[in-house]
Amino acid sequence: MRVALTVADFLDRAETAFAAATAIVDEPNQPAAAVPTTTYSELARRARAWQSGFDALGVGVGERVAVVSHNAARLQELLLAVPASGRVCVPVNFRLRAEEVDYIVRHSGASVLLVDPELDADLSGIGAAHRFVLGSRTETELMRFDTEPRAWSDPDEDATACINYTSGTTARPKGVQVTHRNVWINATVFGLHLRAWEQDVYLHTLPMFHCNGWGLPYVLAGLGAKQVVLRKVDGAEILRRVAEHGVTLMCGAPAVWNAVLDAAQDWDGELPGRDRVRIVCAGAPPPTRTIARVESELGWQFIQLYGLTETSPILTFNRTRPADVALPPQERARKLTRAGAPALGTRLRIGDTGEVLARSNTVLAGYWNNPDATAEALAGGWFHTGDGGSLDDEGHLTISDRKKDVIITGGENVSSIEVEDCIYALPGVAEVAVIGVPHPKWGETVVALVVPAPGSTVTDQDIISHCKTHLAGYKSPTAVEFRDSIPRTATGKIQKFKLREQYRAARPT
């Protein structure tokens, strides 16, 4: 018997088998947005009210529902409810500027836009056929608690569940179409490798919109685990929540763990979670020293993951193997800087140019309304990651260089081309190259190399403040260096690899 693998599977098991279990503890002190502690039965009831609400509004199956929100219980429920109802969820990065959000809402053709109350004022100009601010009005005006519940939509497993916009090699973000099957296999296989279970307590240190929280909002619901919302990353607050809720599991970019390690210096008393917490790190791998400190100072198990928004994201997974348990801590940590071994069902190979290629059920169906980019990414039946890497004799992947000009800072993807476009708009700039350079806290930071036009008086502060006006803060350069020229290949391409090289040496290990 074939039954479609769908997002509803997770919601369904949560409701059937874990009705009375705590599903979500929302962020406290957020009256406008807060849902109090929710059971999985209540979560499923609310998800049905969303479904009936979309029905009543005339939003058809397959239509897009965009959500711009900080981490919140409501976002978690929408990640499940929107695809389970047969609509397509478009979770938007809450750090984007209004014009960036506007582009995504328009490009995805979203007929519903749901906005975090904290972001309402900034996004007041952005609309869709139906625009709602998440909170009490959504519950009275959109959700329908009074209608007879009906079964979840039963889409084909290849139907689109989410469109996740990501900055890549182009100026505009591309919409990654993630199918129900993609979500299901990513979440289940990640849960398998993580050994997630009903006794886990998960703290949302990762933005839920980001590859849909890497899949944990789905599989943890299916396993009946407790989830604790965290709206803003703050090292000391993370330690407090770990202690308060008995947290066992967290995910995040290296910057999150650096923030925790910093806060641990000032922590009074015994640090919480020793020998109980496991953390998963993705994005640029942190220095060996950070990994060693997480394991020794915090006593938390460190796990590395590698993937892209285009791969749902899991491709590889790296946890200390039985054979390595007895290694000296520094050596063990060094092995954990590798991206890891392919996840179950994922095949990797290194292409002729040194590029990492992947075949997996977690690879995207395509880019939304962008057949050319889709064909390019999936050329030859393999997904082209754009990252350079190598496979060692333990079958582990190490990423050596990102071929695409994507900067990853604090876990966020930044398209260097998008930032260059923005800087080029400023008078007095003759040429610009934007690169990521290693940064101990953020993994990478954005640096602009600028060739000024003759006679230009443009300053580094002019450039930075111009970027901050038009782009999300994390995309704006933290430094500008003026140059006489920028090296190019014979065919005129900027050699960013050479530009980055001078910074590589400074990288802590």
Residues that bind its own copies (CB under 8 A): 1-3, 5, 9-10, 12-13, 16-21, 158, 181, 184, 188-189, 191-193, 195-199, 222-224, 321-323, 341-342, 344-345, 347, 359-361, 363-365, 378, 383, 393-396
Let me know: does 88 contact 63? Beta carbons within 8 Å: yes
Query: How near is the Cβ of 21 to its own copies at its closest, in Å?
Result: 7
Query: How near is the Cβ of 436 to its own copies at its closest, in Å?
Result: 28
Taking the mean position of all CA atoms in its chain, how far away is CA 16? Answer: 29
Residue 361 vs 416, nearer CB to its own copies: 361
Residue 15 vs 405, nearer CB to its own copies: 15
Q: Read out DSSP for 356-420?
A: EEEE-TTS-SEETT-HHHHHHHTGGGSEEEEEEEEE-TTS-EEEEEESS-EEEETTEEEEHHHHH
Q: Under 8 Å CB-to-CB from 253, ≥6 apart: which residues?
A: 206, 281, 282, 283, 408, 410, 411, 412, 443
Residue 182 vs 416, nearer CB to its own copies: 182
Can you read off the two tokens belonging to residue 198? 């009903």
Burial class (CB in 10 A: 0-12, 13-18, 19+), 208: buried
Residue 191 vs 443, nearer CB to its own copies: 191
- Going 470 to 126 to 164 to 170, the CA torsion angle's sign is negative
Let me know: does 242 contact 203? Beta carbons within 8 Å: yes
Query: How near is the Cβ of 363 to its own copies at its closest, in Å?
Result: 4
Query: How near is the Cβ of 224 to its own copies at its closest, in Å?
Result: 8
The strand pairing partners of 408, in sequence order, are: 413
φ, ψ of residue 99 to 5 degrees: the values are: -70, -30
Query: How near is the Cβ of 119 to its own copies at its closest, in Å?
Result: 34
Query: How near is the Cβ of 22 to its own copies at its closest, in Å?
Result: 10
Let me know: does 318 contact 285? Beta carbons within 8 Å: no
Residue 106 vs 347, nearer CB to its own copies: 347
Can you read off the two tokens belonging to residue 174? 């591309």
Residue 31 vs 380, nearer CB to its own copies: 380
Select from 207, 216, 209 the least CA-distant residue to 189. Answer: 216
Residue 3 vs 490, nearer CB to its own copies: 3
Convert 271-339 into a string of H (helix), E (strand) and C (coil).
Answer: CCCCCCCEEEECCCCCCHHHHHHHHHHHCCEEEEEEECHHHCCEEEEECCCHHHCCCCHHHHHHHCCCC
Select from 197, 346, 217, 357 the least CA-distant residue to 278. Answer: 197
Q: Which one-letter DSSP state was computed for residue 102?
A: H
Query: How near is the Cβ of 338 to its own copies at its closest, in Å?
Result: 12
Can you read off the two tokens belonging to residue 478? 């933290």
Residue 33 vs 378, nearer CB to its own copies: 378
Residue 172 vs 359, nearer CB to its own copies: 359
Query: How near is the Cβ of 155 to its own copies at its closest, in Å?
Result: 15
Query: How near is the Cβ of 344 to its own copies at its closest, in Å?
Result: 5
CA–CA distance, 125 with 114 (Å, rounded to integer): 13
Q: Read out DSSP for 408-452?
A: EETTEEEEHHHHHHHHHTSTTEEEEEEEEEEETTTEEEEEEEEEE
Query: How near is the Cβ of 220 to its own copies at its closest, in Å?
Result: 12
Residue 211 vs 433, nearer CB to its own copies: 211
How many residues in the chain?
509
Q: Under 8 Å CB-to-CB from 351, ≥6 apart: which residues?
A: 357, 382, 384
CA–CA distance, 148 with 49 (Å, rounded to integer): 10
Query: How near is the Cβ of 167 to its own copies at its closest, in Å?
Result: 21
Residue 19 vs 426, nearer CB to its own copies: 19
Query: How near is the Cβ of 49 to its own copies at its closest, in Å?
Result: 21
Q: Which one-letter DSSP state was computed for residue 173?
A: -
Residue 327 vs 365, nearer CB to its own copies: 365
Convert 447-490 into a string of H (helix), E (strand) and C (coil).
Answer: EEEEEECCCCCCCHHHHHHHHHHHCCHHHCCCEEEECCCCCECC
Query: How near is the Cβ of 377 to its own copies at its closest, in Å?
Result: 10
φ, ψ of residue 257 to 5 degrees: the values are: -75, -30
Let me know: does 185 contact 340? Beta carbons within 8 Å: no
Residue 100 vs 200, nearer CB to its own copies: 200
